[in-house]
Chains A and B, each alone.
Chain A
Amino acid sequence: MKKDLLGIGDLSAEEIHLILDTAEAMREIGQRPIKKVPTLRGKTVVNLFYEPSTRTRTSFEIAEKRLSADTLNIAVATSSVMKGETLVDTAMNIDAMAPDMIVLRHPSSGACHLLSRICQSPIINAGDGLHEHPTQALLDAFTIREHKQRIEGLKVVIVGDLMHSRVLRSNMLLLTKLGAELWVSGPPTLVPVGIERLGVRVSTSVDAAVEGADVIMMLRIQHERMQTAFVPSLREYYNLFGMTAARVAHAKPDVIIMHPGPMNRGVEIASDVADGPYSVILEQVANGVAVRMAVLYLLAGGAEEAD
C-alpha cells in the first residue's frame, strides 16, 4: 500500500482485492462479544471533518476504536477554522502533534492531495468535494461481492445526480477497474460532459438502463451543492428518475438496491424500495466499518519501499 488513501484512482486491482479480503476478516471482529483487537494500540487517528457527516464519521470512529487506536474528532464548527485559520495551517498544526493518521473530509476537491504533500501523517480521504470518496466505493464493492461473489461482468447501474457525486467518481473508477459493465443514468443537466470516455454507458432513460441489471445504485440529489436549478422540481425528478418498484421490476430478479446515504425518500428512491427485500442499504453501512478497519490496518504499516 501507499502512504495515503486519496482515491480509487491510485489503487491497483490487486490492492482493491487485498482491502476487500482484509475487510472480510475484519468483519468477524464486529460479531464478537468483545469487539476490539489490540492492533493499533498506541496509534492516534485524527478525524478532521469540514462537512457534516453522520455515517462516515461514525463508521471511521468505530473502525478506529475496534482496532484500539486513540481517536480524536475535530468538528470544524467548534475549531479555530471559525477564527479564520486556513486548511493548510490547521493541518500543519495537527501534523506537528504527530498523529499516526488523518482522516479528512472537505468540500474542496483535491484537499486530501494538498494535505498529503504537506503532512507526514498518512491521509485517508473521507470525501473531498466532487472528487472521490474511496472508502464508500470500497464498501460498495464489498457489499456487491458478498451478494454476487464477483464484480467482473456484472451490470451495475448508477442513477441520480451524477454531476455532484464523488461516490459516483470513486465507484466508476473501481467498478470499471474490476471489470463490471457500468451504466449511468440521470437528467441531462446532471450528466457530466464526456463521462462516457471513462468507460461507462449513459442513458437518460432509467428504464432502459435498469433493464437486466444485477446492481442498482441510487445517488442523492445534492441540494447543498447546486447553485442553480438543475431539475425543474423534485416531483418531476421522482417521476422520471425515482427508483420505484415498477422500475426495479425491469432488473434481474436477484437485483440488489444500494444507496450511499443520506436518502431523500420520495425523491430519488421510493420508501417501499428503500425498505424492500432487494435493499442492501443498511448492509452497506455495516460493511463500512469492516472496510475502514481494513484500510486503517493496511495503511498503518506504512508505504512499501518500492513506492
Chain B
Amino acid sequence: MPVVMDADRMGRTLMRIAHEILERNAAPGGVDELALVGIRTRGVPLARRIAQIIREINQHEVPTGMLDITLYRDDLMRHAVGPQPLVRRTEIPFSIDDKRILLVDDVLYTGRTIRAALDALIDFGRPKAIQLIVLVDRGHRELPIKADYVGKNLPTSSSQSVQVHLMEIDGRDEVEIEP
C-alpha cells in the first residue's frame, strides 16, 4: 500500500499546523481563547499532539476535549435493520462559551462528520468561532465545508480508501492510500 505520509513528515506537518494556529490567533489574548476538540477516534490523539506542540512552543496550556459524533450522524436509522454504530463517550471538560474551538479530525472527505460535529458542539454552548484542522483533505465534499488548517491535500478517487495510522492507536504513524 503506498505510503503518502511517514512518521517524520507527520511530525513536521503537525508542527507547521501548530505554528499556523499561533500565527492566526496572535492577537492579544487570542491564545487564551483557544481550545482543541478532537473527533473520535483519530482526531483525539491528533488534538493532544497539537496541544503538546503548542505547550513546547510557548508554554501555553490549550484545553483539550474529545467528541463522539455518533448520535448526530445523518445516516442513523436509515436502514430498517442492522446493528447501531457504537456510541462512545464525549468529554469536553471546559465551557466552550466564547472560546475559539479548534476542531480536529484525521481525514476530511464528504464533510458529513464535520456537519455532525458542528451540531454536537453547538449543544455545549456558543463558541466565538470554530476552526477546522485536518491531517488529510482527500476532496469529494458533499456539503459546503472547508478546513482552516490542512496537513496535506491528497487528490483521490472515491473508490480509494485513505487510512491514517497513529502511534497511540495503531502503533505507527503513517498515512496510506489503498487503491
Contacts and interface: CB of A to CB of B under 8 A. Distances in A.
B82 A22 contact: no
A100 to B, nearest CB: 9
A297 interface: yes
Contacts of A22: 86-87
A39 B81 CA distance: 16
Contacts of A300: 77, 84
Contacts of A104: none
B68 A25 contact: yes
Nearest to A297: B84
B76 A39 contact: yes
Interface stretch (B19-27, B119-127, B162-170): B119-127
A296 to B, nearest CB: 10
Contact of B81 (A21, A24, A303): A303
Interface residues of A, number: 28
Chain A CB within 10 A, most for which of B79, B82, B119, B125: B82
Contact of A28 (B77, B79, B80, B91): B91
A25 B87 contact: yes
B129 to A, nearest CB: 19
A105 B142 CA distance: 45
Contact of B123 (A21, A32, A305): A32
Contacts of B72: 37-39
B51 to A, nearest CB: 21
Nearest to B123: A34
Contact of B82 (A18, A26, A302): A302
B41 to A, nearest CB: 13
Interface of A: 1, 18, 21-22, 24-26, 28-29, 32-34, 36-40, 43, 67, 294, 297-298, 300-305
